[in-house]
Structure 1
Amino acid sequence: MATDRILASYLIETPEPPEKVAEVMAGEQSCGTFTRVEGETDALRARARATVESIVELAPATSPSLPNALLERKGTQGPWRRARIEISFPVANIGANLPTLAATVAGNLYDLGEVSGLRLETVHVPAAYRARFELPRIGIAGTRRLTGVASGALVGTIIKPNVGFSAAETAELVARLCAAGVDFIKDDEVCADPDHAPLAERVPAVMAVVRAHQERTGKHVMVAFNITDETDAMKRHADLVEREGGSCVMASLNWCGHSGIQTLRRHTPLTLHGHRNGFGALSRHPLLGISFQAYQTLWRLAGVDHMHVHGLQGKFSQPDEEVIASAQDCFTPLAEGIDDRVMPAFSSGQWAGTVPATWTAIGSDDLLFMSGGGILAHPQGPAAGVASIRQAWAAARAGTPLDEAARSAPELAAALAFFGKR
């Protein structure tokens, strides 16, 4: 791709000729508007205008995917043509400005009167432009180094119940989970700084038991404290985690915003665990919003180390194909010659029984495999839950069916018997 342009691809639906709509999109998101204006010289347009790179028309739809008051006022009846469009944007229009990049590739386009559906599918940036943004501080290799897990999937869990525990009760649970053998523990996205367990109390209480476990065993368990908040508060919370010997903080990406995450990344050396809650509102409709490839590109430019992708055969709405593609996006460098891969975090209804599908589809264990109920609700206790997942990973890597492996793995056998009925 050109070294001075950003390339974005879109799926559109429109009653207009797609080539006309593509030009409207290119003009709207660069130097143009619906009509030529004073000062918009040919030289300026040549320098600053976005360019339509390709148009591939698809089969039309029988009805519009989304309401459009402008088309309704005009009495437009279709046909509703669909097309994939690639548009390139001059880097010089944007600079190293992540919010403006997002506004350029995913801004007013969604409101255009010419479309009855529009979805941002991919964003690709040149290497020189990618180098102007934050890289992961920790990433895959650093996460393995900090947790001491040289090979195999990192087994993690989530604090459950989500909210309600005091700081002391949370620390007691974390101590049990550390003893159970997990590599990673995270707060839930809805538990950040609640009155009953404020971070000022929860972080010291939890890290006291994490440090004690490390002194006994040599094992550092990575705890992702949810520090989602306004920017100055997140910086204070991150400083507290660092002072207490923690290695990771978590933030709800969509609600903190690109600027907030960039500021946090620049402020702290800790692992930055990116939680994507709310992504479904941006992605579930096939003719609206943003795909994960484009979404994770923007957040990786902000410097996150981990990205949630949901889980295979999980409890959420995403099909397995989307989860697989999302994980592969995390493993794919954004630009040639720059290793900015991030660790995909699998969660949502994960347990020993979903391991084989994960291994078969991903072919890598450079991932966080997070199981809440699959560990904490195991009939033989959390330690058996962790053991069942590790046994399942060993079986999957060896190509051994789980029911066969379970004959010599009682924890796995109990998990299959208990969770397999649900």
Structure 2
Amino acid sequence: MAPRFTVTYFVQSANEAEAKARALDIALEQTVEVPRSTVPKGYVEDEILGRLESLEKDPGGRPGFLAVISYSEDDVGGDFPQFLNIVFGNSSIKPGLRVEDIGVSPGILGLCKGPRHGIAGLRTRAGIGERPLLMSAIKPVGLSTVALARLAHDFALGGMHYVKDDHGLVDQKTAPFIDRLKACVEAVGEANARSGGKASFVPNVTGPATAVIERAKQAQEAGAGAVMVAPALAGYDVVRTLAADPDFTLPIVSHPAFSGANVVSPDCGFSHRAFFGTLHRLMGADAVIYPNFGGRFGFTRAECLSIARACATDMGGPKAIVAAPGGGMTFDRVPEMREAYGNDIMYLIGGALLQESNLVDACRRLVAAVHT
């Protein structure tokens, strides 16, 4: 018998009998996808078929139950997309079902090596010890390569540890990828030479399937300090592939674009911690960007803190990664963010800094506020 991993689902249901029927349907749908009466006896029934391990009333008060279902590693076949398919393939199409947690097995940990660097590696690159990390984004789309490189320079000169592309910057005619990459790496390098800092430029390598890996390799060759990928756009296995590639050594920052429908419903999709925490660590992301509470996207404080905890909890192998909340970080919220997140965090702030008349000075004031 192969080891088994588990998935905990929220099953919306008015009573236990209905919830159990729905949970048993998940076990079928996610594995054999045939009526229960036709499941072949022996190996298929005993090993491949999902197994309902427990069912209990939702402790959070939602109208439903938590069902823990185990799956055999043999279901996965050493294939990360198939692992995702087993976790929530066809059942993701059905209403009232949500992935709350994923419990990994040795085989899954072997398949998913996790992040190469994690929060410790990102801090080492930045040379900051145990303090919070800071990241900013050059924007908007439509600016020239020269203008974007100037912003990258000023962010770095002001003390930002990581300066990334906006997620909408790809290969537009106003700032083609390779030109922007080279100009911004050079600009950040010039700022480091002036300040003695260790800022890194982080290009967005999200793009067509044939381009993502190529752009990541170009970023490494050009001297970038990390790369950014939106897994929901480029493909979840792209991140895992890059993280596992022995010839690719840069940290990977994930961006949440196109992923919102996975988490915004309380009874469908994924819990915030399972999606942005567990899955991104298994993919191999070193930092995961997500919307901060109190910003323009509506994540709650509890949801955001659950992500941060999932980024750091012991998974039996994958390194702790850094949660990077953004979309609502301002100067006057620094004390609130420090109280909520502590030191093991990467603050992503862009728009609030760009509103300031002196960008370099604004960055320095933010660094002082966060590191006080």
**TM-score in terms of structure 2 length:** 0.91
State the match for 2:369 in structure 1: 392
Q: Deviations over 1:348-384 (max 9, x none)?
A: 1202222222222223x122111112222235x2233
Distance of 2:207 and 2:231 partners within structure 1: 11
CA contact (8 A) 1:328 1:362 kept: no
Aligned equivalent of 1:328, options 309, 312, 316: 309
Q: Which residue of 2 aligns with 1:368?
A: 346
Equivalence for 2:360? 383
User: In terms of mean alpha carbon deviation, does 214-223 or 301-310 score higher?
Assistant: 214-223
Which residue in 1 is equivalent to 2:86?
104
2:20 alignment partner AA: E
1:247, distance to aligned residue in structure 2 (A): 1.3
Cα distance per residue 1:292-315 (max 9 Å; x no partner)? 222232332221111113223222
The answer as to 2:147 corresponding to 1:147 is no
Does the CA-based 8 Å contact 1:250-1:275 persist in structure 2? Answer: yes
Report SS of the residue matched to 1:286.
coil
Q: Secondary structure at the match of 1:6?
A: strand
Q: Indicate conservation of the 8 Å contact 1:58/1:81, yes or no.
A: yes
Q: Which has the larger radius of gyration?
A: 1
CA 1:386–1:213 in 2, change beyond 3 Å: closer, same or farther? closer
Q: In the alignment, is residue 36 of structure 1 matched against residue 37 of structure 2?
A: yes
Matched residue of 1:56: which SS? Answer: strand
* Structure 2 unaligned residues grouped into runs of 5+: none
The number of residues matched between the two structures is 367
Q: Distance in 2 between matches of 1:195 and 1:9?
A: 46
Within-5 A mapping of 1:237-248: 237-248=215-226
Of the three residues 270, 280, 297, the one matched with 1:299 is 280
- C-alpha separation between the residues in 2 aligned to 1:81 and 1:186? 42
Residue identity in the other structure for 1:6: F
Contact (CA 8 Å) 1:94, 1:101: kept in 2 or not?
yes
| Cα distance change of structure 1 residues 246 and 282 upon mapping to structure 2, 3 Å threshold | same
* Partner residue in 1 for 2:295: 314
Question: What is the deviation of 1:394?
Answer: 4.3
CA distance in 2, matches of 1:179, 1:259: 35
Q: Mapping of 1:335-374 within 5 angstroms?
A: 335-336=315-316, 338-363=317-342, 365-374=343-352
| 1:36 alignment partner, SS class | helix
TM-score calculated relative to the size of structure 1: 0.81
Is residue 2:116 matched to residue 1:117? no
Partner of 2:255: 275
CA distance in structure 1 between the aligned counterparts of 2:105 and 2:120, rounded to whole angstroms:
24
What's the % identity of the aligned pairs? Answer: 24
Letter in 1 for 2:267: L
Looking at structure 2, the residues matched to 261 and 339 of structure 1 have their Cα atoms a distance apart, in angstroms, of 14
Q: CA deviation at 1:324?
A: 1.0
Give unmatched runs, 5+ long, in structure 1.
62-79, 396-422
Q: 1:111 to 1:146 in 2, by over 3 A?
A: closer
Work out whether 1:126 is the aligned partner of 2:108: no
